[in-house]
């Protein structure tokens, strides 16, 4: 159905329902501090993180390599968002961005690392986050389908200087997760995951075996994963915080305030609110 609808409508709908697909997004107040100067969204897609981050951070920098998605974000995102059409990597240059056959980026499966789902490639510019002149970075989200370590290496100076919270999508079916975890531990970060309502240390959660047992859910479409009945979660996002920080615990009462916050966010990402 998405192919028959206006792309802006598809994008707005995807942004609105995405917290059911990725519950970490409902914890944004715990991840991105209210006084955040700059938030970075690496792999923007239709902008579910970009739009919500724009309501919390003074500046948002979104790095999106797929040309049509970058153009869409540029034309629709709030005014405090800067969109960079490029792939984040460990050094500037050019690379081949792989996509499934017949796909122009809407499926969110593009990657610099070729997999069996990929059938064609397009040339893209590469940038290192350390080369973008970013300052006062409080939060970075990374979703790049396999090149996470290169993105982090290209942001080592930023991570060392600003110590932002990181939310990194890690999938063992694409790349081993160990090198990323080890690299961030060298930089003084520890991982946390959200298999239920509370964050638990990555060190006590069997991420790879969990993904092996729930990996079939990764192939289920967005609509089927957000509509009832709710299915078992496939956890693939890891929060990394400096070792002296822990995720904030939710307030009293189950989910108190979350429904109101997400109702506001849902309207905002559909375009009914403007930034004050």
As a whole-number percent, the residues of the chain with pLDDT over 90 amount to 58
Confidence of residue 1 (pLDDT cuts 50, 70, 90): low
Least confident of 19-28, 91-100, 209-218: 209-218
First to last CA, the chain: 35
Q: Tell which wins on pLDDT, 259 or 95.
A: 95
Among 20-24, 71-75, 139-143, the minimum mean pLDDT is found in 20-24
Q: At what angle do helices 258-270 and 7-21 cross, to 10 degrees?
A: 160
Q: Determine the pLDDT at residue 3.
A: 56
Domains and CATH numbers, the chain: 2-85+133-270 (3.40.50.150)
Average pLDDT, the chain: 84
Of 45 and 14, the one with more pLDDT: 45
- Helices marked H in 80-238: 148-153, 156-162, 178-186, 207-214, 222-226
d(CA 260, CA 114): 41
Axis crossing angle, helix 67-76 with helix 7-21, rounded to the nearest 10: 90
Nearest-5° Cα angle at 276, 132 to 71: 45
Confidence of residue 276 (pLDDT cuts 50, 70, 90): very low
- Per-residue pLDDT tens for 215-263? 666 665 555 555 554 557 789 999 999 999 999 865 544 443 333 343 3
pTM of the model: 0.84
Q: Which of 10-14, 43-47, 214-218, 231-235 has the lowest mean pLDDT?
A: 214-218
Report d(CA 26, CA 196) in Å as an integer: 12
Residue 135 binned pLDDT confidence (cut-offs 50, 70, 90): very high
CB count in 10 Å sphere of residue 91: 12
The pLDDT score that the predictor gives to residue 254 is: 40
- Reported as a single tens digit per residue, the pLDDT across 155-209 is 999 999 999 999 999 999 888 999 999 999 999 999 999 998 899 999 999 999 9
Would you say residue 29 has pLDDT above 60? Answer: yes
């Amino acid at each position: 159905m998405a192919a028959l609808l206006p792309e802006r409508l598809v994008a707005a709908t995807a942004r609105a329902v995405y917290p059911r697909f990725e519950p970490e997004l409902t914890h944004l107040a715990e991840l991105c501090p209210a006084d955040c100067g700059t938030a970075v969204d690496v792999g923007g897609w239709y902008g579910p993180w970009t739009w919500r981050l724009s309501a919390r951070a003074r500046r948002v920098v979104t790095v999106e390599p797929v040309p049509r998605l970058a153009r869409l974000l540029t034309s629709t995102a709030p005014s405090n968002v800067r969109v960079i059409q490029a792939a984040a990597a460990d050094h500037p240059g050019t690379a081949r961005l792989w996509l499934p056959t017949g796909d122009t980026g809407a499926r969110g499966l593009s990657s610099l690392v070729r997999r069996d789902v990929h059938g064609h490639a397009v040339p893209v510019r590469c940038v290192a986050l350390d080369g973008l002149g970013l300052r006062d970075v409080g939060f970075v989200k990374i979703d790049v389908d396999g090149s996470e370590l290169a993105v982090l290496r290209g942001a080592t100076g930023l991570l060392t200087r600003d110590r932002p919270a990181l939310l990194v999508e890690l999938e063992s079916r694409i790349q081993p997760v160990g090198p990323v975890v080890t690299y961030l531990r060298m930089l003084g970060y520890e991982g946390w995951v959200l298999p239920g309502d509370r964050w638990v240390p990555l060190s006590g959660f069997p991420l790879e075996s969990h993904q092996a047992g729930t990996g079939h859910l990764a192939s289920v479409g967005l609509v089927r994963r957000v509509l009832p009945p709710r299915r078992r979660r496939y956890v693939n996002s890891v929060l990394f915080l400096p070792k002296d920080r822990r995720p904030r615990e939710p307030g009293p009462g189950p989910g108190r305030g979350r429904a109101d916050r997400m109702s506001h966010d849902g309207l905002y990402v559909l375009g009914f609110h403007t930034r004050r």
